[in-house]
A and B are shown apart, each in its own frame.
Chain A
């Protein structure tokens, strides 16, 4: 079955630590996205990538970094520079033909 996987499902981090969230897709989609969702809020775009080895900042990129070395993978690193990282992080992909986003199950990050 094709889809998007994210790991881990829950992640706890101490202040000052960097953590990396995994996102893998086997849908053969070119475009991938990272969103942040806070309780009771909508999705805000962190980073997106249209093709391998290329990515652009979204609306709230400060304190985050990404890489796109393979079409299937788009990991997100939450750095210590992110002041309030506790949130639900969602990875998504979109094929060029479609205007539909496919989401992974999400990673819930908590900073202790």
Chain B
């Protein structure tokens, strides 16, 4: 099977930097992606790592290390609107099926 582990909840203050980790037990996947979901809303795509290393998109960066079965999402200059749940996901070679972690709820405080 496959599993993706994330911390259930993280709290940080406005303007700070926060890192959300994702460790996985799966193989044969194309890449690791991250999604943001506000309460009651649909997930929206943030970033994708097909290769090891760091991908930067504005205030958000994502990292993947296949040898360590580990990735993270880095959010800089936190804003109140960043309060949401964040999910890591892998898409496997088998029919491009996506598997999601259980999500990390980020609370940004003033």
- Which residues of A are interface residues toward B (Cβ below 8 A)? 31, 33, 35, 40-45, 48, 50, 56, 58, 90, 92, 94, 99-106
Q: A56 near B95 (CB under 8 angstroms)?
A: yes
Please pick, from A58, A102, A104, A105, the residue contacting B97 in the complex, using a CB distance under 8 A. Answer: A58
In chain A, what residue has the closest Cβ to B102? A42
Q: Mark B62-101, 1 if CB is under 8 A from A, else 0.
A: 0000000000000000000000000101010001111111
Please pick, from B30, B97, B99, B103, the residue contacting A41 in the complex, using a CB distance under 8 A. Answer: B103
Cα distance, A101 to B33, chains bound together (Å): 10
Q: Mark B16-33, 1 if CB is under 8 A from A, else 0.
A: 000000000000001101
Q: A103 near B42 (CB under 8 angstroms)?
A: yes
Q: A42 near B42 (CB under 8 angstroms)?
A: no
Q: A99 near B31 (CB under 8 angstroms)?
A: yes
Residues in A with CB closer than 8 Å to B4 are: 42
In chain A, what residue has the closest Cβ to B43? A103
Q: A104 near B103 (CB under 8 angstroms)?
A: no
| Interface of chain A: mostly helix, strand, loop or mixed | strand
Q: Which of B33-70 contact A (CB under 8 A)?
A: 33, 35, 41-45, 48, 50
User: What would be 18 A-B contacts, judged by CB atoms less than 8 Å apart?
Assistant: A31-B96, A41-B103, A42-B101, A42-B102, A45-B97, A45-B99, A48-B95, A50-B95, A90-B42, A92-B98, A94-B98, A99-B31, A99-B48, A100-B48, A101-B89, A103-B43, A104-B42, A105-B42
Cα distance, A106 to B42, chains bound together (Å): 6
Q: A41 near B42 (CB under 8 angstroms)?
A: no
In chain A, what residue has the closest Cβ to B47? A100
Residues in A with CB closer than 8 Å to B45 are: 100-102
Please pick, from B42, B91, B99, B102, the residue contacting A99 in the complex, using a CB distance under 8 A. Answer: B91
